[in-house]
Amino acid sequence: MGLLKRFALAVGVGFAVGVIWLLAYTPVALPLLPLLLGHALIAVVLQTVLVVLGPRFRGPSPLLLGMFLGFVVVPAWMAPFHDGGFLGGAEGYALDALAVVLAGLFGVFAGAGISAGGVWLKRCVVLIAVLLLGLAGSGYATLSSFGASLQPRAVQVMDDWPDTPVAVIGLDGADWRLIDDLIAAGELPNLAGLIEQGRRGVLRSVEPMYSPVVWSSIFSGHYPEGHGLVDWYRADARNRKVPMLWDLYGAHGRRSVTVNVPGSWPAAPIENGVLVAGFPIPGLVTGARGQMAGFVATTDPDEQGFLTTEYLVEQAPDRWTLDVGLALPNLRPRMSGFKHALLDLFVRKQMLAVKGTRLELDVERTGDRVTLTSPTLNEPIVLSEGDVSPWFRVPLDDTDARLRIHAIEVSDARLALYVLPPMQTPERPRYPFVTGMDDPSPLFRESSPYIVEGLGWIAHKDERVIDVVADEILDGVTEHLYASEVLLRSGFPDLFSYIITVTDRIQHPFWPAYEPGAYSALPAYYASLGDRDPVLESWQLADEVLGTLLSYVPDSALIMLASDHGFLADAEAGDGDHRSDGIWLAKGPMIPTDAREIEMGAADFMPTLLHCIGAPQAQDFGGVSHPDVCPTVASPDPVETYNGSPPSSGATEALIDSSREEQLRSLGYVD
Ligand SMILES: [Zn+2]
């Protein structure tokens, strides 16, 4: 074969590999040219090396097999390991590269062997290659289900689990200093009632003081190294090394309902229970600054703000176009299991463009009103200044987005709209977050979607929207409560766990409104808040939610409240921040009313709860129980462990994806 022919063959083979991946990813519509040229270039380089290597490698077989194994089979093989959370970060991709090189080399040498060997050898090698490709598909299916079932199970340690009903209610970021002040001011009647009838103390947080990390300690009895969610980047339920409280209930045949516990996504199947996962959960939009913060669209050409400002494109007097980026397509190839790890990475890092869904709205101003229309909208949206539109639904390729728009200003001088971040529809979510129900749709209201993690609070730094930000964050609670009430109405479960996160989400941005004296000077954007104190509003709301939840709890129940950390003013940053001293509170027939406060660590919460209901301690708990919380209860002999999973090798590490990282950024947690 001449040199020219050899390289023509290489280009052809490279194109063919590119076409294979293009076909596999057709629904995502990857750009054709980089795919074809990239693979053709690789094939030409490989062919050059083969030509240099010598005559044994110059036939078509080494090139064909090298390309096929290295660039079709191996990428497909590696994808499930990334998806399952077994590979991540730079090491993961280095391992990919190594696998590609090794498989490519193997293919080259096998190809050289074929050229030298007989027809049966050829058949055998081709058969092996095809088998490997098939296995890549089935491996994907197995591993992705394995990823979900990876979360540890609990073992049954007693025949009759204590039948005391238990309610664990979390108040994210609650601090006795604030609660005591508000109660003294006559606020928080439901919380005050619980304190009066029970007993309380300080719950020391754990480091790092992040919600998913600390709540995992509270619900597992382990410190972060023990439970596996050690920081933000590992705030993924697949990293759990130990069962959670609700797993213990499931293992003993008891029913649990768990709502909004941070660090519980992705929701694994749990025994005898329903779990509605908490944050962090991937969002629909990636890339733009503050995925969860939205943007401001305006007609004022000089306008700037903390949020991204987009300019309305004028079509005619009083008519503009508003372009809203909704979501990147889900990276779901046509054939389930046939995925390319590197292509996925390129798309996620936006190095390879894909067709994202956009919504084009016609904006028309008539007097002091603005009308938004689009072919995908059922009816036009009419807004006056200050109005927030209802949630409207926009179809995406594999799900729907829910969106709302706030009219900041509608005047002759300026038109300004706050486009809130698009959220997934709970009825048809891209990232399912409910487990334990065949059909979770009764948990959700059509008019107002359940949002696992709503608007990112850093949006408060934009004075144009600071007021709306408070409203939107406060709003999210209503749907969490609605879903819980649907679940509670069919009878109180053996264990009910619910975390009120709105307190933390509001305290971060709005602490200066609550404690202005702690700040020497406030950033200018707080001026737009006026006299409002969203922190007080969030606590009034939290107390209302608490009251509603308590109305479902039977008198015989043990009620335990906890916070993952306390809260204080961060004078330097101009907002609020975590401090270690959080709260715990207990009320029940076994809890004496006692003014003496007991201090415990976050990992002591669950051991203490188990003691109070008469369930055994586990010797492998990181925390200890505080029997003096309920001194009359006799503790049964401890058991070795509740953990029904083999000890983890520590190799499984599910890192959060870029979309969840964006979410944490918009929540102000990571820079
Ligand atoms: Zn926080």
Q: Tell which residue, 226, 261, 260, has the closest CA to residue 240.
A: 226
Judged against a pLDDT cut of 70, whether residue 335 lies above it is answered with: no
For residue 204, the CA-to-ligand 1 centroid distance in Å is: 15
Say what percent of the chain tops pLDDT 70: 88
* Between 594 and 260, the higher pLDDT residue: 260
Instruction: Name the phi and psi angles at 497, rounded to 5.
Output: -125, 135
Confidence of residue 286 (pLDDT cuts 50, 70, 90): low
* pLDDT score at 289: 46
Q: Are 502 and 473 in contact (CB under 8 A)?
A: yes
* pLDDT score at 216: 96
Judged against a pLDDT cut of 60, whether residue 140 lies above it is answered with: no
Judged against a pLDDT cut of 80, whether residue 176 lies above it is answered with: yes
For residue 21, the CA-to-ligand 1 centroid distance in Å is: 42
* pLDDT score at 632: 92
For residue 469, the CA-to-ligand 1 centroid distance in Å is: 16
For residue 210, the CA-to-ligand 1 centroid distance in Å is: 7
Tokens of 637: 């002999």
For residue 306, the CA-to-ligand 1 centroid distance in Å is: 21
For residue 328, the CA-to-ligand 1 centroid distance in Å is: 28
Using a cut of 0.85, tell me whether the model's pTM lies above it. no
Mean pLDDT to the nearest integer, 594-605? 93
* Between 543 and 6, the higher pLDDT residue: 543
* pLDDT score at 256: 96
User: Which residues, other chains included, contact 578 with Cβ-Cβ below 8 Å and sequence gap of 6+?
Assistant: 173, 205, 209, 565, 566, 567, 568
Q: Tell which residue, 500, 560, 542, has the closest CA to residue 195.
A: 560
Mean pLDDT to the nearest integer, 46-74? 87
pLDDT digits 0-9 by tens, 374-388: 988 889 999 999 999
For residue 245, the CA-to-ligand 1 centroid distance in Å is: 23
For residue 174, the CA-to-ligand 1 centroid distance in Å is: 10
Instruction: Name the phi and psi angles at 324, rounded to 5.
Output: -115, 120
For residue 622, the CA-to-ligand 1 centroid distance in Å is: 24
Mean pLDDT to the nearest integer, 109-138? 74
For residue 670, the CA-to-ligand 1 centroid distance in Å is: 11
Judged against a pLDDT cut of 50, whether residue 651 lies above it is answered with: no
pLDDT digits 0-9 by tens, 501-531: 999 999 999 999 999 999 998 888 998 898 9
* pLDDT score at 220: 96
For residue 131, the CA-to-ligand 1 centroid distance in Å is: 50
DSSP tag of 388: B
Q: What angle do CA 555, 560, 565 make, to 5 degrees?
A: 160
* pLDDT score at 650: 46
Structural domains in the chain? 3-149 (no CATH), 166-228+247-274+475-632 (3.40.720.10), 295-420 (no CATH)
Tokens of 100: 């590609």
For residue 312, the CA-to-ligand 1 centroid distance in Å is: 35
For residue 508, the CA-to-ligand 1 centroid distance in Å is: 6
Task: Work out the mean pLDDT of the chain and round it to a whole number.
Answer: 87
Mean pLDDT to the nearest integer, 202-224? 95
> Which of 207-221, 444-458, 474-488 has the least mean pLDDT?
444-458
Mean pLDDT to the nearest integer, 234-248? 89
For residue 577, the CA-to-ligand 1 centroid distance in Å is: 7
> Which of 30-44, 485-499, 599-613 has the least mean pLDDT?
30-44
> Strand ranges (DSSP E) for 376-414?
381-384, 392-395, 400-403, 405-410
Mean pLDDT to the nearest integer, 13-29? 80
* pLDDT score at 655: 65
For residue 578, the CA-to-ligand 1 centroid distance in Å is: 6
For residue 560, the CA-to-ligand 1 centroid distance in Å is: 21
H/E stretch holding 578 reads strand 575-579
* Between 84 and 175, the higher pLDDT residue: 175
Mean pLDDT to the nearest integer, 453-482? 91
